[in-house]
Amino acid sequence: MSSIAPARDAQPIVLVVDDDPLVRSSLDSLFRSVDFAVRNFGSAQELLEAPLPETPCCLVVDVRMPHMGGFECRDRLAERGVDLPVIFLTGHGDIPMSVKAMKGGAVDFLTKPFRDQDMLDAVNAGLARAAERRSASRESESLRQRFATLTTRERQVMAGVVRGLLNKQIAGELGIAEITVKLHRASLMRKMGLRTVPDLVRAAEALPSGDGTS
């Protein structure tokens, strides 16, 4: 059974799932010819049983395979919270199948035999999408960690600022001095690594609901 070793660096990886060894070999050669890292799997189950690498990845998967096809494989990954950009392959495509793939967020839907450049273009788009998602995820986690350092009072002041209240209005709501609001406001902006109120509003919108900012 194939497995994925932890990546040594942030090199993107193409995950190829196809029950045809000739297709796997052809795709492996194509991707390596342009210096893509590749991991090959003979079935969807092999992929699902393998640890995924901690690096941007995209999935190239055949729609029709024994036991489990590409659509079900994608759904199983989604159930686990794994959101990989997907390029579907098929030897017998039709319009309804293509529509289903694209509505499900697929990067592309290619019919065998495909042009090498079409495949490379799709994979480049998929890896770019994966890198963007990874960057967004890191920023979201960093934001949550910074928010966690705020005191209860700083969070209350932040909520007031986000609502558009003036310092004296926040002070009136919280029953504290306006100068105290200013001190909390300066502290929370420093802890959050933000400089302007619009930045703070965007950060608040990006935080999970129920965090006390609304």
Q: Given this model, what pLDDT does residue 99 score? A: 78
Range(s) of the domain holding residue 192: 149-206
> Whats the size of the chain, residue-wise?
214
Beta pairing partners, 108: 87
Q: Are 56 and 31 in contact (CB under 8 A)?
A: no
In single-letter form, the type of residue at position 33 comes to S
Q: Is 20 exposed, middle or buried (0-12, 13-18, 19+ CB in 10 A)?
A: middle
Q: What is the pLDDT along the chain (214 residues), one digit of tens a residue?
A: 333 444 344 688 999 999 999 999 999 999 999 999 999 999 999 999 999 888 899 999 999 999 999 999 999 999 998 989 999 999 877 777 887 888 878 999 999 899 999 999 999 999 999 988 888 878 888 999 999 999 999 999 999 999 999 999 999 999 999 999 999 999 999 999 999 999 999 999 988 765 545 4
> What CATH number has the domain bearing residue 74?
3.40.50.2300
Q: Given this model, what pLDDT does residue 100 score? A: 82
186 in the same domain as 118? no
Please give the Cα distance from 126 to 106 (Å, whole number).
9
> Coil, strand, or helix at residue 40?
strand
Q: Given this model, what pLDDT does residue 68 score? A: 95
What does the block give as tokens for 62?
């055949």
Strands, DSSP E only, in 74-181?
86-90, 108-111
Number of folded domains that form the chain: 2
158 in the same domain as 85? no
Please give the Cα distance from 186 to 180 (Å, whole number).
10
> What CATH number has the domain bearing residue 160?
1.10.10.10
pTM for the complete prediction?
0.67
